Structure 1
Amino acid sequence: MANEYPQVMVIGGSDSDGSAGIEADLHSFFMRRVYGTVVMTAVVAGNSYGIHDSFTLPLPFISKQFEVLADDLGVKAVKTGMLADADLINTVADNLEKYDFGKLVVDPVIVTKHGALLLEDAAFETLKNRLIPLAEIITPNFYEAEHIVGRKLKSKDEIEAAAHELQDLGAKNVMLKGQRIGDGQETVDDFVLLEDGKTFWLPAQFFDTDRRNGTGDTVSAVIAAELAKGTNVEKSIRIAREFVTNAIGNEIQVGHKYGPINHWANELPKE
């Protein structure tokens, strides 16, 4: 029967060096054995040194991608990546409300792991008001969480309070990814708040490496892949965290500077 195989969608931009964006998502989908589909919103000319140019696709074309996929496929989960501006976020939200693509994972690409702001204020407000309320789970990094709640997070208590504020915006579940500092850091501690009120910290080994491109994309993509297969949210989060830890801890040498994580590390035999 058509569409029995688990299918998942990514809404985001294409990264030409394959380290992040929809390419990292598709790597993740493949490794978790789900069929990946794409609503492409932008294309980026980039490599390990940085982003050199980008182009956002026309909004009617983006909407047409939603329409034709909804007409044919059986997508059971969807994740968002970087969305360039308020008009694009509104277009995405309109289509997610119009068509049933299953559970939504929002990776709110607002601030990089190094603290650089990626989203203008108008787009940020639209993200909060239109997209986050649709989310089954939101997966901000530490700096994105600070930006959303509007203050610095200086303790575990403050991080936990911020997660509750993110849930109050409408997201059912929250995975607030830990701060990556370096200089002797041993773990990266993520905080999880589930829809039923359950909370827990999820520590993972810290690797002081420049081979971390695509980490956030991969976490949200693996969660979406597992949700499409019917895995519950907590188990999906735990699978994603272990997957990314393996991918960072087993480097591949691609590019000269800030390289990708190694999705294929998850096929390596455990010692």
Structure 2
Amino acid sequence: MDAVPTALTIAGSDSGGGAGVQADLKTFLACRVHGMSAITAVTVQNSLGVSGFYELPPEAVAEQIESVATDIGVGAAKTGMLASAAIMAAVAETVQRLGIAPFVVDPVAASQHGDPLLRPDAVEALRDVVLPLATLVTPNLGEIALLTGVEVRTRADMDEAAAALLALGPKAVLVKGGHLAGDDAVDLLHDGETAIEFRAPRHDTAHTHGSGDTLASATTAALARGATLAAAVAEGKAFIRGAVAGSFPLGSGLGPVGHFWRVRDWPQRTTP
């Protein structure tokens, strides 16, 4: 039997189940890889927003990564919420020491409701310690401004943002333009030499909680299965398009994307 591909998420827990580690593990499963996790923080959140979060000790985060990497092995890894400079330093040291790659960095700074998920001292560490290790970094427009100071308002600005992010050391960047105006959502993959544009029609829904996490984890899953970076991003984009189209209301606020969109119409099973 062929070995099952493995992927690791290093991220925070979402008690509402729509984002964070929960979204990553659902996505890994849907994308045919065995998912593993290193929890960085526990958030208190639901469909209305984040009301608090509690960080794990940095050594506990590092030990989780080392435990799975030295036994099971990590085909690819991604980050989500890293919360603090101390956790970022622990993650960076462990990932580098163990040679974990490909390594996808989703530089989560705030929830979809705008609630902060980074301590004030963490942005510099994210920029200086974590990004240089990344195979791919996947920022949205707000995260781009936070990391580089570049305000992306047009398609041309995306090229400037990509260059500014690449200067921080990652091998490639996916500039996510979903919040730009226009009939299509446009993302730009750039590795410093080649630029590839991914364009897709928008879906009319407010229920997109966890969309950034899901795109990054679907891309990570493809990398774990051996896809090239461009092919992995294409797979990630295809998965998130289906998940957004399959999004649903939940609770009183923003519902999640549909991580189970590929199987949501399974036959109903009767209880024996």
Please say whether Structure 1 and Structure 2 have the same fold, judged by a TM-score greater than 0.5. yes
What are the within-5 Å matches in structure 2 for residues 233-248 of structure 1? 233-248=229-244
Q: CA deviation at 1:150?
A: 0.8
Matches within 5 A, 1:91-240: 91-112=90-111, 118-180=117-179, 185-194=182-191, 197-240=193-236
Match of 1:264, SS state, is: coil
Q: Is the 8 A contact 1:113 1:143 kept in 2?
A: no
Q: Which residue type is aligned with residue 87 of structure 1?
A: A
Q: Measure the CA separation in 2 of the matches of 1:148 and 1:14.
A: 23
* Mean CA deviation greater in 171-180 or 127-136: 171-180
Question: What is the TM-score when the length of structure 2 is the normalising length?
Answer: 0.91
CA distance in 2, matches of 1:214, 1:19: 6
Shift of the 54–154 alpha-carbon distance from structure 1 to 2, 3 Å rule, reads: closer
Q: Deviations over 1:212-243 (max 9, x none)?
A: 01100001101111111100000110111111
The range that moved more, 74-83 or 112-121, is 112-121
Deviations 1:171-193 (A, max 9, x none): 111111014257xx421111111
The CA distance in 2 between the partners of 1:32 and 1:134, in whole Å, is 24
Percent identity between the aligned chains? 33
Q: Aligned in 2, Cα 1:157/1:164: closer, same or farther, shift over 3 Å? A: same
Q: Which moved more, 1:151-160 or 1:24-33?
A: 151-160
Report if the CA contact (8 A) 2:40-2:55 is conserved: yes
Alignment partner of 1:264 is 2:257: no
The aligned residue for residue 25 of structure 2 is 26
Conserved 8 A contact 1:105-1:224: yes
State the secondary structure of the residue aligned to 2:255: coil
Secondary structure of 2:12's match? strand
Residues 9-63 of structure 1: CA distance to partner in whole angstroms, max 9, x if unpaired? 0001111111000000001000011000111111112111111232111222222
Deviations 1:60-96 (A, max 9, x none): 2222212221221111100000111111111111111
The TM-score normalised by the length of structure 1 is: 0.91
Q: Does the C-alpha gap of structure 1 residues 97 and 227 become closer, same or farther in structure 2, counting only changes over 3 Å?
A: same
Residue 84 (structure 1) aligns with: 83
> C-alpha separation between the residues in 2 aligned to 1:47 and 1:111?
14
Task: Indicate conservation of the 8 Å contact 2:50/2:111, yes or no.
Answer: no
Cα distance between partner residues in 2 of 1:115 and 1:58 = 25
The count of corresponding residues between Structure 1 and Structure 2 is 265
Other-structure match for 1:14: 13
Following superposition, the deviation at residue 125 of structure 1 comes to 0.7
Q: Residues of 2 paired with 1:101 and 1:154: CA distance?
A: 35
Structure 1: gaps spanning 5 or more residues: none
1:131-154 Cα distance to aligned partner (Å, 9 max, x none): 100000000011111222213223
Tell me which amino acid in the other structure corresponds to 1:27. Answer: K
Matched letter for residue 51 of structure 2: H
Distance 1:117 1:160, change over 3 A: farther
Q: What amino acid does structure 1 have at the position aligned with 2:186? A: D
Is the CA contact 1:248–1:261 (under 8 Å) kept in the aligned structure 2?
yes
What's the Cα RMSD here? 2.0
Specify every segment of 5 or more residues in structure 2 that has no aligned partner in the other structure, as ranges: 266-272
- What amino acid maps onto 2:241 in structure 1? T
- Distance in 2, Cα, partners of 1:168 & 1:176: 14
SS at match of 1:255: coil
